[in-house]
């Protein structure tokens, strides 16, 4: 049965709740943090930079990814340079295209050549990945976030694609493949087996880490007990006619 100690993959916590980030920061198995504008909006964040600086006051020794949200390339570049100035452990999330479908690869290559660590996000195809890998500076680390969970939502098994992605990225040894949008804890172990370097996991899924390696017979009994306890608490009864 797998255990957390067996994992080679790095787990990054994905969310925008400061209290959860404080708790997760104290867990040695959490190797980094990510967020995005959608998660921040859901959490009620109104001051983007203020929130980011609050996170960096908590997390100062592990990578943290913050995303640009401009839709034009010059705007993305300006935001990327500003965000990069917030801390040495900051990674810049750049979407693979803007909302018009225009590639951001020229910008990614430019930032990478300046030594800025880009987390290229919303990658869905190997063609997108190949083009992005091609523009990365060989001396600059990069994160390539492939949305395996959303790919799986379409009915496509993401595992073969992610396996090939790991091989494609080898030509830039400082780049890392990130399994994004996992749907269940099992995805951590699937990603680890095929050699993914990083997986982002939302705070709600991370709560399930406590059951990794749990004895399944014990888990079965606990589940039966839960059903029985809840039926009694609800006051259910069945009377024969």
Catalytic residues: 93
The total of other beta-carbon atoms located within 10 Å of residue 197's CB is 18
Provide the 3-class DSSP secondary structure of residue 94: strand
Q: Are 203 and 209 in contact (CB under 8 A)?
A: no
Closest CA to 204 of 17, 8, 9, 3: 17
Q: Are 134 and 80 in contact (CB under 8 A)?
A: no
Beta bridge partners of 83: none
State the helix-helix crossing angle for 126-135 and 158-168, rounded to 10 degrees.
Answer: 20
Q: Are 95 and 126 in contact (CB under 8 A)?
A: no
């Amino acid at each position: 049965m797998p255990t957390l100690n067996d994992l080679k993959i790095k787990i990054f916590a994905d969310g925008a709740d400061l209290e959860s980030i404080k708790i997760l920061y104290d867990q040695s198995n959490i190797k980094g943090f990510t967020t995005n504008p959608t998660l921040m909006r859901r959490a009620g964040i109104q001051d983007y930079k203020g929130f980011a600086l609050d996170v960096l006051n908590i997390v100062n020794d592990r990578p943290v990814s913050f995303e640009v949200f401009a839709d034009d390339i010059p705007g993305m570049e300006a935001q990327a340079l500003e965000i990069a100035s917030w801390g040495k452990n900051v990674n810049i999330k750049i979407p693979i295209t803007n909302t018009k479908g225009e590639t951001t690869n020229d910008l990614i290559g430019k930032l990478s050549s300046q030594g800025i660590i880009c987390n290229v996000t919303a990658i869905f195809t190997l063609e997108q990945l190949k083009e992005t890998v091609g523009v990365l500076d060989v001396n600059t680390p990069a994160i390539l976030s492939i949305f395996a969970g959303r790919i799986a939502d379409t009915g496509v098994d993401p595992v073969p694609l992610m396996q090939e992605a790991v091989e494609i990225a080898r030509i830039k040894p400082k780049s890392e493949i990130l399994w994004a949008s996992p749907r269940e804890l099992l995805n951590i172990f699937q990603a680890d087996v095929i050699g993914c370097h990083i997986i982002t996991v939302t705070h709600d899924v991370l709560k399930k880490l406590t059951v990794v390696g749990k004895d399944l017979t014990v888990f079965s009994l606990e589940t039966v007990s839960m059903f029985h306890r809840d039926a009694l608490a609800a006051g259910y009864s069945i009377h024969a006619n």
